[in-house]
Amino acid sequence: MIERVLELARRSGRFEGFDLLLRDERQVGLRFEAGRLKETTLRQEAGINFRGVARGKVGIAGTTDLARPEALADLLERAAHSAEQGEECALAFPGPVRLPSVSVFDDRAAGLGVEHLASFGRRVAERLKRPGWQVTASVDRYLETVSFANSVGQTFTSRSTAVSVGAEVTRVKGDDVLMAYDDVTAAGVPSDAELDAIAASVTRRIERGERVVEAPDGKLPVLFTPHGSAAVLLPLHQALSGKTVLQGISPLGGKLDEKLFDEAFDLADDPLLSNRVGSRPADDEGMPSARLRLIERGTLRAFAYDLETASRAGTASTGHGRRGTFGKPGISFSNLVLKPGDATEETLLREMGNGLVVDELIGVGQGNVISGAFSHPVALAFRVENGEITGRVKDAAVAGNAYELLKRIRAVGRDAKWLGGSRLVPPLLLDAVNVARR
């Protein structure tokens, strides 16, 4: 299929340069309620995204119609018409180069049948079975094949797998609703220990939340667990994108090699990690993958770029292009890794003294996230007094500015967790977070 489009594009003579990506995705999804398999879904989607440069302007077209030969000619025709109305951009398509070897495909995961997948969900659900606990679980298996080619000879094909198992417990007593969720996602098959860890994590948080206490109030040390860290870290994800820098809206723009955060803060994007769902030998624009140090000991070192933003910014792509079937490529991180510290939970709580543990917030991602300012009610949080968790708080909110708070890191925990399989986040103990009763 890729070869046919390449031949048609070259023979057409309408493009000075072009690239294309064929993505074939297959998913099996299982949903459990009350320990029983409730739903099984199968999904398959394949499509080609073609980008061509004609008279210096970029055109984009996509199709999922891969059965009809004439659909490919139509794809190129639409790309050419798109270029007539497109923007000028001098894209530097990467030439042929040897790509790094990355372990992203697991034969065992690829061969899992529905019954084997179901056993994962049943194992977790069984371990969460308690009177009054409503248990739901999910299991998903993904298979993906990506084929890429461009007009200057860069080609590759990559196959990847992913298996995700998650579980949630809802406990209702009167008007009090307590919920906790956890999951594991990786390229390979989850071990029994990993499945049991999901159940143990959910159980621990539900049991900790049984006792409700009054929320603290004031500027306090707050421990953001991996699950609760999104309000602090999401602004950085956006601000480190070369697109927001180019648009002039990133608070970090123009500050390369400046120390902006605490020395304990060390963030990298690493697409070469084995068994991680964000890993890849190359990005969707054919750029070879390489580890990118974003923030080193609190100092800003790099932004992420795809081909277009790099061209417009007068720099080189960092290999962070991601594309779907339709629309132009955009910037996407692979595996974001926030360096863990060495503090245990006991040490973090003792260091905190009196404060709050935030495990989940409500409304994260809404509003002007990139500014760093946040104010969110807590969904799951625990009060800490004299270094010990005394109970769950309700009707409380936390607020602050992520960029300022990350200058005051009191400690970083060692118990980091992979969120979504592609973000490694440790617990963060931050000073002077605004905590208010509601």
Strand 218-224 to 355-361 pairing: parallel
- Residue 69: which pLDDT band, with cuts at 50, 70 and 90? confident
Query: What integer is the mean pLDDT of 293-300?
Result: 98
pLDDT score recorded for residue 101 = 94
Are residues 35 and 160 located together in one domain of the fold? yes
Q: Render pLDDT for 239-273 as a digit per residue (tens, 0 to 9).
A: 999 999 999 999 999 999 999 999 999 999 999 99
Are residues 201 and 305 located together in one domain of the fold? no
8 Å CB contact between 155 and 173: no
pLDDT at 145 over 90: yes
Are residues 199 and 273 located together in one domain of the fold? no
- Residue 365: which pLDDT band, with cuts at 50, 70 and 90? confident
Are residues 84 and 183 located together in one domain of the fold? yes
- Residue 370: which pLDDT band, with cuts at 50, 70 and 90? very high
- CA–centroid distance for 264 within its chain: 22
pLDDT at 366 over 90: no
pLDDT score recorded for residue 368 = 87
pLDDT score recorded for residue 89 = 94
Query: What integer is the mean pLDDT of 52-81?
Result: 94
Are residues 8 and 119 located together in one domain of the fold? yes
Among the three residues 148, 183, 205, which one is the final residue of a domain in this structure? 205
pLDDT score recorded for residue 336 = 98
pLDDT at 115 over 90: yes
pLDDT score recorded for residue 164 = 98
- Residue 147: which pLDDT band, with cuts at 50, 70 and 90? very high
Are residues 178 and 255 located together in one domain of the fold? no
Are residues 151 and 266 located together in one domain of the fold? no
* Inter-CA distances, 152 with 146, 149, 286, Å: 18, 8, 11
pLDDT score recorded for residue 261 = 98
Share of the chain above pLDDT 70, in %: 100
pLDDT score recorded for residue 272 = 98
Determine how many CB atoms are found less than 10 A away from the CB of residue 373. Answer: 16
pLDDT score recorded for residue 291 = 98
User: How would you label 217-237 residue by residue, b for 16+ Cβ within 10 Å and e otherwise?
Assistant: eeebbbbbbbbbbbbbbbbbb
pLDDT score recorded for residue 42 = 96
Are residues 196 and 114 located together in one domain of the fold? yes
User: What total number of domains does the chain contain?
Assistant: 2
As a whole number, the mean pLDDT across the chain is 96
Q: Render pLDDT for 149-176 as a digit per residue (tens, 0 to 9).
A: 999 999 999 999 999 999 999 999 999 9
Domain region containing 127: 2-205
pTM: 0.94
Query: What integer is the mean pLDDT of 17-21?
Result: 97
Share of the chain above pLDDT 90, in %: 96
Are residues 197 and 233 located together in one domain of the fold? no
Are residues 53 and 198 located together in one domain of the fold? yes
Beta-carbon contacts of 273 under 8 Å, excluding residues fewer than 6 positions away, are: 102, 279, 335, 337
8 Å CB contact between 120 and 179: no
* Inter-CA distances, 33 with 129, 163, 172, Å: 11, 19, 16
Are residues 121 and 152 located together in one domain of the fold? yes
* Spatial CA neighbour of 391 closest among 380, 399, 383: 383
Are residues 196 and 221 located together in one domain of the fold? no
Among the three residues 205, 236, 267, which one is the final residue of a domain in this structure? 205
pLDDT score recorded for residue 302 = 98
Among the three residues 205, 228, 243, which one is the final residue of a domain in this structure? 205
CA distance 138 to 120: 9
* Inter-CA distances, 298 with 94, 248, 261, 264, 407, Å: 32, 22, 4, 7, 8
pLDDT at 367 over 90: no
Q: Render pLDDT for 179-222 as a digit per residue (tens, 0 to 9).
A: 999 999 999 999 999 999 999 999 999 999 999 999 999 999 99
CATH number at residue 179: 3.30.2290.10
Q: Render pLDDT for 381-411 as a digit per residue (tens, 0 to 9).
A: 999 999 999 999 999 999 999 999 999 999 9
